[in-house]
Structure formats: structure tokens, C-alpha cells
Amino acid sequence: MNRRNFLGLTAAAGVSFAATAPKTNGVVLGVQGYSFRDRNLDQALAAARDLDLRCYEAFEGHLEPRNLPRQEIRTWREKAGDEQYRVIRRKFDTAGIELWSCGYNFREDMTDAEIAHGFAMARALGVKRINASANISVVERVDRFARKAGIYVGLHNHSNIKPNEFATPENFAEAMRGRSKYIAIHLDVGHFTATGGDVLDFLAKNHKNILTLHLKDRKKNQGPNMPFGEGDTPIRELLQMLKRERWHITALIEYEYKGGDTIEEVRRARDY
């Protein structure tokens, strides 16, 4: 695929989330499609290819209509077929980019049909992982669908410390207690830092349950997103930890601060 070695990842102890993906200096490094949110999917894939970021998480905004009223998106999901997602998968294959996972949020007001749609979408896209911003209260329902589909759901944290949301280690522990192996963690290291969390300690203690990292740099105490190396998130140290420990955790760049040209800002993060 490129000048780097194309390596197969072996199974880790416990549950393995590994798949074949290009490595950068011993770490599977890729990009979250939200980084290219100002572009359409074709433009986003072209940017990822040009930046040699061949491991990709599909942005929900590139998979569904954006900004529809709540009832309209519910109706759209309940009627959506698989073919549109098969078309999207062919775009990734043509671009030579591995579709690692897809974004789909599970909220407590969702119908069972909407939850089922997320897994049908993942199957049609040919992925085994969903990155989900979810309510804690919906995880039990999601787990039933995940077990049936055999698809892992990584619970995504934000910095909103409030009931029924994911922000702290305690939130993850509460949601995963009694759940199947298909309920896992999708750790946003920037948001985790903003809440006062110790990313390196959390990685060391929970790496077997972590699907993926979203790489962004933020200041502590609910501070802003920053270019890599200018915030308080230990980006360098956590990537070195992944390399040293050989954990099969994919690290995806997510550009979110207010910068200049999108592609140049993602390039800046990649170079860091």
C-alpha cells in the first residue's frame, strides 16, 4: 500500500480488536473523518490518501444527512437500505484506505429500529467497530444488538461531566459492568485530559478494553482544543506507550481546534 511495512496484528491477551492496518513506527495511526468535516467524503478520502493516513474512521456526517430535524432523521434511518453504504465502502477500497470503524451515536431517545440501523450500516460498510457517543442508560439495549451482530461498540467520552454521559473513568465502569465483550471504550484523550483525567494511567489500567484513541490535544480544566504539543494531553508519551507495550490500539487524529486549512492542520498533527 505504501513504503511502510504492511503488517498483520496478532491477537492480544483477552479480547482482540486488531485487524490488518498499516503502521507508523510501530503504531497504527490514522484519522477520524470528522477532521475533514468541511469537505465531502470524496474530498476527505483524497486528503487522507495524500497525507498517507490509510487507516480511517468514517464520520457520521459523511454517512447520513446532516442537520435534519429529529423526527426526519429517525424516519430516514428506518427506511435507509444497505446499498448506499456498499457504495461508500467501494469508495474506500478504490482509494486504498482501510475503513477501520464508523461513527454512529446511540442516544436514549432512539427506537430499537434506529439502534438496529447502526449495526446494519456497520455490516454493509464491512466494519467490526462502531465509535459511539452514547448515553449510559442506552448501553444495555445497544449490547443486545452488538452481541447479535458480533460488532464492537466503543463508548466515546466527552468533557461534559453530568449524569448519563461519558466523561470519567467511573462512567465507563458503570456502563460496562455486566456487559458483553462487545461493549468497549473509545477514548478521546483530549476530552479526557480536559476533565482532569490521567490518560497514561487510564491506558495502563484499561488497555485491554480500549478499541481506539481519538488523538487531540486539550488544556486541562475544560480548556480549549490546541494544536498537538501546545495543550496538556501527553500525546508523545501515550504514543510511545503504545509502541513500547505493543498494545493493539488504533490512534486516530481528530482535528477539532480552530485552525487554518483543514488539510494543512491534519498534516501538522500527522507530522507531530
Q: What does the alpha-carbon distance between residue 266 and residue 184 come to, in Å, rounded to a whole number?
A: 27
DSSP sequence for 110-152: --HHHHHHHHHHHHHHT-SEEEE-B-GGGHHHHHHHHHHHT-E
Element holding 20 (H helix, E strand) = none
Pick from 92, 76, 155, 81: which is nearest to 126 by CA?
92
The CA distances from residue 141 to 34, 59, 115, in Å, are: 26, 23, 8
- CA torsion 250-17-209-183 (nearest 10°) is 120
Residue-level pLDDT at 17: 47
The CATH code of domain 23-271 reads 3.20.20.150
The count of C-alpha atoms lying within 13 angstroms of the C-alpha of 35, restricted to the half-sphere facing its C-beta, is 31
**Three-state SS across 213-225?**
EEECEECCCCCCE
Rounded distance between C-alpha atoms, residue 56 and residue 73, angstroms: 25
C-alpha cell at 188: 478521546
**Residue in the structure block whose three cell numbers are 461508500:** 88
Q: Helix 199-206 to helix 235-245 angle, to the nearest 10 degrees?
A: 20
Instruction: Kindly list the domain boundaries of the chain, sorted by start residue.
Output: 23-271
Tens of pLDDT, residue by residue, the chain (272 residues):
443 333 333 333 334 444 456 687 889 999 999 999 999 999 999 999 999 999 999 999 999 999 999 999 999 998 999 999 999 999 999 999 999 999 999 999 999 999 999 999 999 999 999 999 999 999 999 999 999 999 999 999 999 999 999 999 999 999 999 999 999 999 999 999 999 999 999 999 999 999 999 999 999 999 999 999 999 999 999 999 999 999 989 999 999 999 999 999 999 999 99
